[in-house]
Amino acid sequence: MKALSIWQPWAQLLAVGVKHDETRSWGTSYRGPILIHAAKRKMNYSTEFIGLHRSPFYKYFKVMGYGAYENILALPHGAIIGMAELVDCRKIDQEYHDFVRDFCRSDYAFGDFTVGRYAWRMEKPVLFKEPIPAAGKQGLWNWDGELPELLEV
């Protein structure tokens, strides 16, 4: 199955269905099920958390119970944490940028909707009961391992 590595906390937000668009500098023609892999590399929380704390995006973390610094640090890394259905990948133009900015505030807060980038639209998110340890890779990659019992959210 196809998989995509994403830094935390964005991977968690996709797996629980708060974030719907994963923004990338590159597009894909692939459509179908995709595993959400929380990258092993962690943000530099000592500096980047300060930026998160001041952003409009932080209020969504607080509402979800991830707002405390310790909660964000506790999110799984280096593991497949869930899956979703990749239903679309579109190049971001000014019209899409403005639509997301004006009507999809949480997605806008969680992504880089700069014109010319790509929005990977995810639907039907599933969070696994237990993360599956995996090294991950850059780009879209294949996972050949077993999948656990799923917990829909």
SS3 sequence, the chain? CEEEEECCCHHHHHHCCCCCEEEECCCCCCCEEEEEEECCCCCCHHHHHHHHHHCCCHHHHHHHCCCCHHHHHCCCCCEEEEEEEEEEEEECCHHHHHHHHHHCHHHHHHCCCCCCCEEEEEEEEEEEEEEEECCCCCCEEECCCCCCCEEEC
Domain tally, the chain: 1
Read off the CATH number of the domain in which 20 is found.
2.30.130.30
pTM of the predicted model as reported, rounded to 2 decimal places:
0.83
Average model confidence (pLDDT) across the chain: 84
Position 153 pLDDT exceeds 50: no
pLDDT digits (tens, 9 = 90+) for 100-146: 999 998 788 888 999 999 999 999 999 998 999 999 999 999 999 88
Q: What is the pLDDT of residue 47?
A: 45
Position 2 pLDDT exceeds 70: yes
Question: Domain containing 7: what range?
Answer: 2-152
